[in-house]
Amino acid sequence: MQIPEIVGAGLIVIGAGLGIGKIGGSAMDAIARQPEASGKIQTAMIIAAALIEGIGFAALFAK
């Protein structure tokens, strides 16, 4: 593995981490505001996180 590829993989992981973190944070806010909708929010959160994670993995393996 060459150095630019390692840096690229690192950047992807940072990006994916930030994205999933933001989704999680927003979901926390939303649940705090509307605890009765927590089930729906959780489902949507997991789907969005999974999609971002998929992109992260795809990019990592495309090295």
Tell me which of 17, 25, 47, 63 binds other proteins, using CB under 8 A.
47
First to last CA, the chain: 8
| CB closer to other proteins out of 21 and 54 | 54
CB of 25 to other proteins, least distance (A): 19
Q: CA distances (Å), 27 to each of 30, 42, 48, 56, in order? A: 5, 7, 11, 20
| CB closer to other proteins out of 22 and 40 | 40
| CB closer to other proteins out of 18 and 55 | 55
Which amino acid is located at 28 in the chain? M
